[in-house]
A and B are shown apart, each in its own frame.
Chain A
């Protein structure tokens, strides 16, 4: 953070786009803001066209507030609801073809480390359950097998939300959806265990009930990917449209699912654990000073 190039040269404020000026003056550009200050600073997503009460949109809102280094982050998304908000942020966004995100991110991350050897550029994929675990399954897995150093976040609404309600590998067994009237015949895929087996160094499962915890998880996943290897977050982000959840009950649903099958879970290699212990010790010392 604190990069000089986001600062506006004196006298140029009035020629810069209003949004940019606001992001430097009142937003996260050039400084580290706390997610608990949301609602008191200008956010990286100006606004988005996702449905009323969409908790995938909420997760994305917290994601941008949690980025450790938004000026040097590149977000990759694909077809699916999430890109509707991801493409509205003041952070570079690449639209991967459906299923290709983790292949594109692999090449991008490698190219960035060759082009900017003296700088850290964080690459983060955010895509749906269909994008990552069905149609992009092969590319997701192989990016993990190859130990590519970027973060993958699955915003799991347990359905193909953007195309009107087909079942995905992440839909629960037995469930009927608008375009899966017979009910799903197979179990929900255990994405977190797959990620561990495939070589991720940090893995978490989370329901969006606690912004502080979401932010901490996202920061950890990004920092671990910088230094050690692939990281994965499996986030429950309900689709109130396809699951007919009254919008007022969307947070209640997230709390309920957290108790049922989305209990917070975090796993990391010993190496990563040591890294965070060391980092958190240093941060505490900084605070004491």
Chain B
């Protein structure tokens, strides 16, 4: 089990924002879907640093990212 960021995509889509995506230290990890206009996390690559949560919640007060525990099995599908 490990800790990863998870974007509440329906919430995020309201903002047309993309800010967190620009501050994640991991490449190809916190991405943006222009189709649905929301950020999404490739769980296998997330190291759980919460910098995206700082951006979304602390700086922007949008609270669209939560940290969740996942098992490797659950991440295999991403």
Contacts and interface: CB of A to CB of B under 8 A. Distances in A.
B11 interface: no
Interface size class of A (residues with CB under 8 A): 20 to 34
Contacts of A39: 18, 21-22, 24, 30-32, 39
B63 to A, nearest CB: 14
Interface string A43-57: 111111011111101
A53 B53 CA distance: 12
B54 A249 contact: yes
B25 A45 contact: no
B31 A250 contact: no
B53 A248 contact: yes
Contact of B45 (A47, A58, A249): A47
Contacts of B53: 248
A57 B26 contact: yes
Contacts of B28: 42-43, 46-47
B50 interface: yes
Contacts of A1: none
Contacts, number: 73
Given A39-B31, A248-B51, A61 B25 contact: yes
**Which residue, of A42, A46, A53, A249, has the highest number of chain B Cβ atoms within 10 A?**
A53
A48 B45 CA distance: 9
Interface string B25-57: 111111110100001000001011111011100
Nearest to B45: A47
Nearest to A44: B27
A48 B18 CA distance: 22
Given A39-B24, A45-B27, 7 more contacts: A39-B21, A40-B31, A52-B49, A53-B25, A250-B49, A250-B54, A251-B23
Q: What are the nearest 4 A-B pairs in CB distance?
A: A53-B49, A39-B21, A52-B47, A58-B25
21 contacts: A39-B18, A39-B21, A39-B24, A39-B30, A39-B39, A46-B28, A47-B28, A47-B29, A48-B27, A50-B25, A52-B48, A53-B25, A54-B25, A58-B25, A61-B24, A211-B22, A247-B48, A248-B50, A250-B49, A251-B51, A251-B55
